[in-house]
Amino acid sequence: MEVDFVVTDDDGYTSYYQVAWTTMQPETLERELASLRAIKDSNPKYLLTTDIDLNPVYDGIRKLNVADWLLQGNDR
């Protein structure tokens, strides 16, 4: 398994990002979440997609619309 992006800022703050076009199919959602679930630390984990939904959270992993995320910036 792999995660698309691991970001560590100048303060040592780390977050993980998985990016997918859509996760509307249950098997796609589970595949994308599996990579983030495999990381056993408490740092923030995000799934960025083009899906329009209510920004659900799965086991602490926030699913966000990528366009909204880009326009609003990192919500650290």
Q: Is the pLDDT of residue 23 over 80?
A: yes
**Could you give the CA distance from residue 25 to residue 73 in angstroms, rounded to a whole number?**
27
- Note the pTM of the prediction, 2 decimals: 0.89
Q: What is the pLDDT of residues 5-15, one digit of tens each?
A: 999 999 999 99
Q: Is 40 exposed, middle or buried (0-12, 13-18, 19+ CB in 10 A)?
A: exposed
Q: What is the pLDDT of residues 31-58, one digit of tens each?
A: 999 999 999 999 999 999 999 987 799 9
**Could you give the CA distance from residue 21 to residue 32 in angstroms, rounded to a whole number?**
11
